Amino acid sequence: MITGKSIAKGALVVMAATLLSRLFGFFREMVIANHFGLTWETDAYLVAFAVPSGIAMAISAGTSAGFIPVLNSYLVQDKRDDANKIASTLINVLAVILLLLVAAAMAYAPLLVKLLAPGFEGESIPLTAEMIRIMFPALIFVSLMGVASGFLNSHQHFLFPALGPMITSVVIIASAVILGPVMGIRGLAVGTMAGFACQFLLQVPVMYKKGFRYRLEFALDHPGVVRVFKLMLPVLAASMAPSLILMVERGLASGLDTGSISALNYAFRLMQLPLGLFLMAVSVPLFPALSAFAAQNRLDRLRETLVKGVKVLSLIMLPACAGLIALSVPIVRLLFERGAFDAGDTVPTAYALSLYALALLPFSVRDIFRRGFYSLQNTLIPVIITVVAFILNVALDFLLVRFMGLGGLALGAVLTALAEAAALYILLSGKLGELQGKSLAVLLVKLAAASAVMGVLTYFCSGIIGLRVDITTGVGRMIQVGSSVVCGLLVYIAALVILKVPEIREAMDILRGMYKKVRGQA
């Protein structure tokens, strides 16, 4: 049964596990940057992995969106046999389709390279094709993670799915350190493939513990299976848009300076730390709750939960955006500038990061509103919005890259996410009724003002500290970034108090309640 206590526990578990996974993810990127830097080889690696990872993430997202609401409807009725039949059929169908895709990609790898990176020349082309063949089987394991995480989340188990990226990162780090000196960038490709395989396979015993029993069957006529595919296919089509945009961006970046693809990748990974940590902590346990409220036709609770999710994320993401912009260079210098990654590589990475940071809140709000539609088992509207947004994003990429280089590719994503979030809000309000638009607008203005003040003071604080410590050393860089973050946080809290933002007290109450509930004190 889904309760406030289970949501609070789920949020805390996901937040802790995601933080751990993100930290390992950052360490992974630091190791890769240290060993390979911004080179044509790292660009080739990223292009080679763009297709399997993009398709897999889309399939995983589509599977979860269609699987969780249907599975919950059977679990609420205690029809566990049907739940297992649906899960097994989904695994079997996906496995067959994915094996065919993998075989085709491996056979036509050189053609894929020409399509994905038209700016590549010389040795980059055969190296990228070789790594496509090494990494493409990861598509199977990443895609099946959608079934595994959907099954476990529906059973109120969030820990192992949230820890999955950490498992992958550990294997990739090991491959960079152990195989990198022997095999070069190819060793990293082998480790990437092995990491995603481990991520899925370690979920299987937990699924069995929660009652999953695999069957070699294709119950395509089962009503639940039919419903899953009806919900899944539109979401799958919509989820392909980010992957296609990523391929377009890397294709355009392949014609820019060497290392531009890698710089975009590192900047995007940095932006994902607050995005992944807090968005997942709120949205992952929220989705089963939204689905349950929708199934019970409790639209008032669904509306209230959505708005609270947006408010909490706004409270976090706006200052995170300001902080990343103010500290873009010091953060990149601290995390990546060592080994093969030099000061010249910091500049384009920080430039892209300062623009990607603007997307934190639009990405978060967009995801929450999408899940609102998915909980209502309405996937058509998000798909239509995503298709339009995809066209807009591609147009902006081609336009802005001419004037801003790789920064234009980051800005195109920001403007598109803003437009998409606004459209989803308007249409969701039509479905559920007024979503506290006035109070949300007032809150956003206050939070934006507080974040702007925080960002300016953090920037000057960082500059002053940078003059007084040796930023060529790791300790000096840590002091500069750490002290500036503490200063910014204090300024932000003070600004919220001065502006009388009530949500800060509510957020603190939520955190206290989560802590007490997890410890069994509430």
Which three-class secondary structure string do you get for 182-199? Answer: HHCHHHHHHHHHHHHHHH
Residue 260 pLDDT more than 90? Answer: no
Residue 158 pLDDT more than 70? Answer: no
For the segment 373-394, the average pLDDT, to the nearest whole number, is 82
* CB contact at 8 A, 333 and 477: yes
Most confident of 51-55, 68-72, 384-388: 384-388
- Tens of pLDDT, residue by residue over 281-323, are 666 666 666 766 776 676 777 777 787 778 888 888 899 999 9
- Which residues have a Cβ under 8 Å from the Cβ of 521 and sit 6 or more positions away? none
Which of these, 143, 105, 117, 64, lies nearest to 254 by C-alpha position? 117
Helix, strand, coil in percent for the chain, rounding step 5: 85, 0, 15
Is residue 499 a part of any domain in this protein?
Answer: no
- Which residues have a Cβ under 8 Å from the Cβ of 368 and sit 6 or more positions away? 282, 283, 286, 306, 309, 310, 313
Q: Which residue range forms the structural domain that includes residue 240?
A: 40-258
- Which residues have a Cβ under 8 Å from the Cβ of 502 and sit 6 or more positions away? none
Across all residues in the chain, what is the average pLDDT? 80
Angular region, 298: left φ>0, alpha ψ -120 to 50, beta rest: beta
How many Å from the N-terminal Cα to the C-terminal Cα in the chain? 17
Q: State phi, psi for 297 to the nearest 5 degrees.
A: 60, 30
Is residue 158 a part of any domain in this protein?
Answer: yes
* CB contact at 8 A, 139 and 52: yes
Residue 457 pLDDT more than 90? Answer: yes
Is residue 13 a part of any domain in this protein?
Answer: no
- Which residues have a Cβ under 8 Å from the Cβ of 21 and sit 6 or more positions away? 162, 163, 164, 165, 166, 169, 276
pLDDT of residue 155: 67
Is residue 519 a part of any domain in this protein?
Answer: no
Is residue 318 a part of any domain in this protein?
Answer: no
Instruction: Count structural domains, the chain.
Output: 1
pLDDT of residue 514: 46
Is residue 72 a part of any domain in this protein?
Answer: yes
* CB contact at 8 A, 36 and 177: no
Is residue 103 a part of any domain in this protein?
Answer: yes
Task: From residue 100, give the alpha-carbon distance in Å to each of 105, 228, 411, 480.
Answer: 9, 22, 36, 51
pTM: 0.70
d(CA 56, CA 234): 15
pLDDT band at 147 (very low <50, low <70, confident <90, very high): confident
Among 61-65, 444-448, 478-482, which stretch is predicted with the lowest mean pLDDT? 61-65
* CB contact at 8 A, 45 and 185: yes
Is residue 367 a part of any domain in this protein?
Answer: no
Neighbours of 77 (CB within 10 A): 10
